[in-house]
Structure 1
Amino acid sequence: MNLNHDGEPVVSVDDVTRTFGDVVALDHVSLDVGPGELVGLLGPNGAGKSTLLSLVSGLRRPDAGTVRLLGQDPTDPAARATLGMTPQETGLPATLRVAEVVDFVAGHYPDPVPTPELLEQFGIAELARRQTGSLSGGQKRRLAVALAMTGRPRVVLLDEPTTGLDVAGRTALWDTIRACHQAGVTILLTSHYLEEIQALAERVVVIDHGRVLADDSLPAILERVGASRVSYAGPGGVREEHVVSDSDEFVRDLVRSGAEFTGLEIRHASLEEAFTALTGGAAENADLTTEGVER
């Protein structure tokens, strides 16, 4: 699927299966990402999101099916020349300074972003002379995402990009990711932060048990669920909330019942509610959250 973008897919996954022993991590998954798209992969732990990114980055090969990055086999180093990636965990050399790490990574690219400019862009310029071993978890995460952008990539894979960031740090990083996207970079990201997908992605791919359950624009995903949350204050001011498929009919029935209520509010289902509906309740045990904590 390629929403509102022209051109050949920059990422193409065709009928891919990947297993680890008896565990089926990806089960006949197909996915195309067009140039300039920002696609959010949403799913619980073990859904197959990280495995999918590992195949696109060439770190692993599929058991069946094909994966193409910019039309090439991603296991070929030449195909990864314009790829940037931030894995869930990044090992940084503890004794090197932040600027030294960026300089080292930049040396692998023909036209890297100048180190001072990159550090400023990601709000970590003041850390340039700090050893990476002394950084907080959130600071390390910002550096890890910055490293993915060092070589001016055409495609960026971000696996849980804001894990460990506080609210301010996460919001700042969102702004930087948006700026990269607006500059034409194709971005594929996974996240447990539901509001992150909702804030960034123009397209959402819901994955669970190694299968794609939904692939559409964010508004279409919410519309597909079709649920609304109706809340109001009943007798005694006690607040009541209901998730219903037809809010108009629910309100009509409420009025006809003669029940007293005030402060009626109706809103569309959140992405969390959409995810829960699409996965048959899997979100209850999915370790999905709406808050991040600086470490």
Structure 2
Amino acid sequence: MLDSPDALEIDDLVVRLGGRTIIDSLSLRAEPGRVTALLGPNGAGKTTLIRCCTGILTPDAGAIRIMGDDAAAACQQGRVGMMPQTTGAWSGVRPLELLRYLASLHAHPLPIEPLAERLGLHEFASTPYRRLSGGQQQAVNLAGALVGRPELVFLDEPTAGMDPHSRRSVWSLVHDLRAAGVSVLLTTHLMDEAAELADRIWIIDHGRIALSGTVEELTADGRSLEDVFLANTDSRMRP
């Protein structure tokens, strides 16, 4: 039996914006049915990478394949979900209205009510998106990323702005996605979140992969994951 293709294959990706190289000959693999974490400082290239994978940006060089297929085709077929850090597109829409609209774009969407209940959306269902708190907007964005039953979902800082209860609920949902065979690539600045969720971690800095491995491999010498991160990335702020 042939092995399943990687959920995500990125080879020698290059992205230049405004005369700067944002992604610099980057290669990465994400295994199918696993949670892959992409860690890096602000400005390291994480969000740019996700935008390339989901067709928002066109790279200058390199190749991206999703589950063995062309990335653009996989996205067009509805096999990919994306939860962005922020979005201004939903300013006046209410959460359940948005979910119903997004569900209508897919042939076999998840049932709206159980998904909304799982993420606590009913508590603010009558509030326009622009008036939601940051954590509430993140919950809506997450629901939108999942409603189409994606095979691969990109979660860009999925718990940013969430309180500890909501954060743990998202962790539980990510575990359930993994158990259901959904591939997840997430970015986060929270080392405990990466350690809790990720099967494999890739650390990116200045648009290049600095290090990768499982949490156990990266911390085998007794250092914490945060110490490993700090040792392999540069600060954008100066003391």
User: Does the alignment reach a TM-score above 0.5?
Assistant: yes
Query: 2:81 touches 2:150 (CA, 8 Å); kept in 1?
Result: yes
SS of the residue corresponding to residue 72 of structure 2 reads coil
Equivalent residues in 2 for 1:213-252, closer than 5 Å: 213-223=210-220, 226=221
1:176 counterpart residue number:
173
Question: Given residue 17 of structure 1, which amino acid in structure 2 is its aligned partner?
Answer: V
Unaligned residue ranges in structure 2 (runs of 5+):
none
Map Cα deviations across residues 80-125 of structure 1 (whole Å, 9 max, x no partner).
5111101111225343322111000000000111110110121223
Instruction: Please state if 1:272 is matched with 2:226.
Output: yes
Question: Could you tell me how far apart the structure 2 residues matched to 1:177 and 1:210 are?
Answer: 26
Equivalent residues in 2 for 1:145-294, closer than 5 Å: 145-223=142-220, 226=221, 268-279=222-233, 282-283=234-235, 285=237
Query: 2:7 touches 2:31 (CA, 8 Å); kept in 1?
Result: yes
Map Cα deviations across residues 274-293 of structure 1 (whole Å, 9 max, x no partner).
111223xx25849xxxxxxx
Instruction: Please state if 1:13 is matched with 2:28.
Output: no
2:31 counterpart residue number:
34
1:139 counterpart residue number:
136
Question: Given residue 99 of structure 1, which amino acid in structure 2 is its aligned partner?
Answer: L
Question: Could you tell me how far apart the structure 2 residues matched to 1:36 and 1:108 are?
Answer: 24
**Which residue, out of 47, 54, 58, partners 1:57?**
54
**Which residue, out of 82, 100, 104, partners 2:101?**
104
Alpha-carbon spacing, 1:80–1:274, altered in 2? closer, same or farther (3 Å): farther
Alpha-carbon spacing, 1:69–1:158, altered in 2? closer, same or farther (3 Å): same
SS of the residue corresponding to residue 116 of structure 1 reads helix
CA RMSD of aligned residues (A): 1.8
Query: 1:72 touches 1:79 (CA, 8 Å); kept in 2?
Result: no
Q: Which stretch has the larger CA shift, 109-118 or 69-78?
A: 69-78
Question: Given residue 274 of structure 1, which amino acid in structure 2 is its aligned partner?
Answer: V
Q: Identity over aligned residues, as a percent? A: 36
Equivalent residues in 2 for 1:84-103, closer than 5 Å: 84-103=81-100
Query: 1:58 touches 1:76 (CA, 8 Å); kept in 2?
Result: no
Question: Could you tell me how far apart the structure 2 residues matched to 1:144 and 1:19 are?
Answer: 28
Question: Given residue 90 of structure 2, which amino acid in structure 1 is its aligned partner?
Answer: P
Alpha-carbon spacing, 1:102–1:43, altered in 2? closer, same or farther (3 Å): same
Query: 2:36 touches 2:199 (CA, 8 Å); kept in 1?
Result: yes
SS of the residue corresponding to residue 32 of structure 2 reads coil
1:257 counterpart residue number:
none
Instruction: Please state if 1:46 is matched with 2:53.
Output: no
Query: What is the total number of aligned residue pairs between the two structures?
Result: 236
| TM-score, length of structure 2 as denominator length | 0.92
- Displacement of 1:202 in angstroms is 1.2
Query: 1:92 touches 1:132 (CA, 8 Å); kept in 2?
Result: no
**Which of the pair has more CA radius of gyration?**
1
Query: 2:74 touches 2:80 (CA, 8 Å); kept in 1?
Result: no
Query: 2:100 touches 2:112 (CA, 8 Å); kept in 1?
Result: yes
SS of the residue corresponding to residue 14 of structure 2 reads strand
Query: 1:70 touches 1:79 (CA, 8 Å); kept in 2?
Result: no
- Displacement of 1:188 in angstroms is 0.3
Q: Which stretch has the larger CA shift, 62-71 or 147-156?
A: 62-71
- Displacement of 1:34 in angstroms is 1.9
- Displacement of 1:190 in angstroms is 0.5
Question: Could you tell me how far apart the structure 2 residues matched to 1:58 and 1:81 are?
Answer: 12
- Displacement of 1:270 in angstroms is 1.6
Q: Which stretch has the larger CA shift, 75-84 or 15-24?
A: 75-84
